[in-house]
Amino acid sequence: MRKTILGIHGDCFKFDVVNESSACLMIDGKIIASVAEERLSRKKVDGQFPHKAIDEVLRIGGIGIEDVDVVATTSLSPYMTNRAYLKAAFTTYKDTGVLLNSKVKDFSYNSLYNKIKGEKTYSVTIKDKEFDLELHDHHYCHAAGAYYASPFNDALVITLDGGGDGLDGGAYYAKDGKLERFIDIPHFQSPGTMYSALTHDLGFKRHRHEGKITGLAAYGNPDLKRLGIDDLMKYDRKKHRFISKKVANHHKNLQEKSDYFYPLLEKFTKEDLAAGLQHLFEREILNFVEDAVEVAKSKGYEFNHICLAGGCFANVKVNQRIFNLGHFKDIFVYPAMGDDGLSVGAAYLSYYEGKEEKQKESIIKDTYNGSDFSRDEMKAALDSFELKYEELENLEEVVGEHLANGKIVARFNGRMEYGPRALGNRSILGAPFDATINDWLNKKLQRTEFMPFAPSMIEEKAKDYLVDFNDEKAAEFMTITYDIVDGMAEKMQAVVHVDNTARPQVVKKDINPSYHKIISEFHKRTGIAVLLNTSFNMHEEPIVYTPEDGIRGFLAAELDFLAMGNFLIPHPNKK
């Protein structure tokens, strides 16, 4: 019997918006489509209920709402969630003496209200059809996305973020399609909250610009004792959780500047604070992972791999440090590691919980899960903007030639990527040689960035550039950094950071043959099998979704060419 599951990350209980709402359509365990609401609403990290994303995944799947068997969502019942937050608040008080008065009051009110309602079945109405919701724990959804999409049968799974369903993270053992949590990380003392605090203190946006801090960190002095923050946060191996009195206290009002980073800006540079934060972040998360390995082995669990999900693992540097611990043969970071990936995790949980045989059958191939557009749709969009274009059978060869000649090309082709990384289908491409491109191209895109652009490289040449590369799946999705082979950094300065690392996309011919061919054509002309790749969007806008989005972005940034399908469009203001 065919089981069609609609996964939703959105506020199904009409309490509040969430972070990065999304929808996923899964049929017989296969992801048919997954889309974040922001791509359609054009509101960055949109957390409204994903009406548009639901419509879109159903449209992509070619089905109606009447064909959906199950609706899975990414939160427990309000009663269970608030009970978990109350427990976390009590744990935090025991650890730190911090009373989260306003928070506890809010949780207690909702908890009592929902306790009266009891554990009744919760339902949601979508397009006039009512469904009983299948409710799944926030962090189990993160873990499910990471494990079930991974190529591994056995794994240690780690989740960590700023909070969900009363937890900030957990450690799980996964084998033979089964997933079991054995460490809970209670809310209110997360390294993710600590990281977001400095992001906010430096004038950037929490839950959006943390990557800027990761890039900035490489320019500073990470001496924690000099900064006076060596004891700001500790992972306690006896209690199996993070402890930080200052981070807990900051939870009383996360919209205010922190009292542990912001005052230090009078004495230290933002680069030094970013470096110190990154060092502390890595140190304590590695302590958590080491503890999880030890506890897992004490329980007799056997594993050779690690899977990661949750917003903290958008930090590509910490992912590299975890892999370099030496405990694991391979690593996988779920490509939509943030909350936009939760809808897929919920769908996985509903699918596998409904199976008698838990054997995995859902290994990720790629993240091209959004919509694509026909030749006629793209042509109509180009004509509506009255742009000149030519249609080419050898477009990849021509684009490779333009890139080799130093031109910047926006690429719009095939199905859109799912998750925060543009992986060639909604990307802006350039040669990787010019170190100054980080300044002038970011200026065109109205961005402020401290990390270089990412390199896309063909699989056949990846070992020429990446130290100890061994076909790790994580490298296909820009989710981990690698050290660069000696002598190669100067050949691709635009995509290598000052610490001699890069966050690559390793492109396989069978996954994206057109993009692979563009890089290969560039390699023929330059001897370098690497392209600069950055997301196709202006600053503070989501990655482009429709042909019209792409055309507007191309024109606004005044890039040299737009490659849309087999159409090549020169910018009208350039000769």
Judgement on whether residues 243 and 392 belong to the same structural domain of the protein: no
Query: Would residue 84 count as lying in a domain?
Result: no
| Backbone CA torsion sign across 407, 412, 415, 420 | positive
DSSP string, 65-110: GGG--EEEESS--HHHHHHHHHHHHHHHHHHH----HHHHHHHHHH
Q: What is the pLDDT of residue 81?
A: 87
Main-chain dihedrals φ then ψ at residue 502, nearest 5 degrees:
-145, 155
Q: Say which residue the tokens 């970071």 belong to.
A: 333
Query: Would residue 170 count as lying in a domain?
Result: yes
Residues 307/147, Cβ–Cβ less than 8 Å: yes
Judgement on whether residues 44 and 134 belong to the same structural domain of the protein: yes
Residues 6+ apart with CB under 8 A from 123: 130, 131, 132, 133
Judgement on whether residues 427 and 556 belong to the same structural domain of the protein: yes
Judgement on whether residues 175 and 128 belong to the same structural domain of the protein: no
Query: Would residue 54 count as lying in a domain?
Result: yes
Reference 471, options 348, 566, 376, 329; nearest CA is 329
Query: Would residue 222 count as lying in a domain?
Result: yes
- End-of-domain residue from the set 301, 333, 365: 333
What does the angle CA 18 – CA 23 – CA 29 come to, to the nearest 5 degrees?
Answer: 130
Q: Give the structural domain span for 34.
A: 4-77+122-138
**CATH number, domain with residue 417:** 3.90.870.20
Residues 446/547, Cβ–Cβ less than 8 Å: no
Judgement on whether residues 247 and 391 belong to the same structural domain of the protein: no
Q: Say which residue the tokens 């055309």 belong to.
A: 551
Judgement on whether residues 431 and 543 belong to the same structural domain of the protein: yes
**CATH number, domain with residue 223:** 3.30.420.40
Query: Would residue 362 count as lying in a domain?
Result: no
Query: Would residue 102 count as lying in a domain?
Result: no
Judgement on whether residues 319 and 420 belong to the same structural domain of the protein: no
Residues 6+ apart with CB under 8 A from 414: 368, 372, 425, 512, 514
Reference 39, options 23, 18, 27, 63; nearest CA is 23
Q: What is the pLDDT of residue 163?
A: 95
Q: What is the pLDDT of residue 245?
A: 98
- Pairing of β 154-164 and β 305-309: parallel
Residues 493/214, Cβ–Cβ less than 8 Å: no
Main-chain dihedrals φ then ψ at residue 103, nearest 5 degrees:
-65, -45
DSSP string, 215-258: HHHTTS---HHHHT-TTS-EEETTTTEEE-HHHHHHTT-TTSPP
Report how far residue 180's alpha carbon sits from residue 510's, in angstroms, rounded to the nearest whole number: 34
Cα distances (angstroms) measured from residue 249 to each of 94, 105, 278 = 13, 15, 21
Judgement on whether residues 490 and 414 belong to the same structural domain of the protein: yes
* Long-range contacts (CB closer than 8 Å, 24 or more residues apart) made by 83-87: 83/111, 83/166, 84/165, 84/166, 84/167, 84/187, 85/166, 85/187, 86/111, 86/166, 87/166, 87/186
Judgement on whether residues 169 and 126 belong to the same structural domain of the protein: no
Neighbouring-strand partners of residue 30: 27
| Per-residue pLDDT tens listing for the chain (575 residues) | 459 999 999 988 876 778 999 999 999 999 999 999 999 999 999 999 999 999 999 999 999 999 999 999 999 988 888 889 999 999 999 999 998 866 665 655 455 445 445 555 688 899 889 999 999 999 999 999 999 999 999 999 999 999 999 999 999 999 999 999 999 999 999 999 999 999 999 999 998 899 999 999 999 999 999 999 999 999 999 999 999 999 999 999 999 999 999 999 999 999 999 999 999 999 999 999 999 999 999 999 999 999 999 999 999 999 999 999 999 999 999 999 999 999 999 999 999 987 767 677 788 999 999 999 999 999 999 999 999 999 999 999 999 999 999 999 999 999 999 999 999 999 999 999 999 999 999 999 988 888 889 999 999 999 999 999 999 999 999 999 999 999 999 999 999 999 999 999 999 999 999 999 999 999 999 999 999 999 999 888 999 999 999 999 999 999 999 999 999 999 998 86
- Model confidence, pTM: 0.96
Q: What is the pLDDT of residue 108?
A: 55
Query: Would residue 73 count as lying in a domain?
Result: yes
- End-of-domain residue from the set 333, 365, 384: 333
Tally of structural domains, the chain: 3
Judgement on whether residues 308 and 284 belong to the same structural domain of the protein: yes
Report how far residue 458's alpha carbon sits from residue 476's, in angstroms, rounded to the nearest whole number: 10
- End-of-domain residue from the set 333, 363, 386: 333
DSSP string, 307-367: EEESGGGG-HHHHHHHHTTSS-SEEEE-SS-SGGGHHHHHHHHHHHHT-SS---------S
Main-chain dihedrals φ then ψ at residue 389, nearest 5 degrees:
-155, 165
- Write b or e for each residue in 167-179: b if 16 or more Cβ atoms lie within 10 A of its Cβ, otherwise e: bbbbbbbbbebeb
How many CB atoms sit inside 10 A of residue 487's CB?
A: 7
Query: Would residue 357 count as lying in a domain?
Result: no
**Radius of gyration, CA atoms only, the chain:** 23
Judgement on whether residues 327 and 384 belong to the same structural domain of the protein: no
Judgement on whether residues 280 and 383 belong to the same structural domain of the protein: no
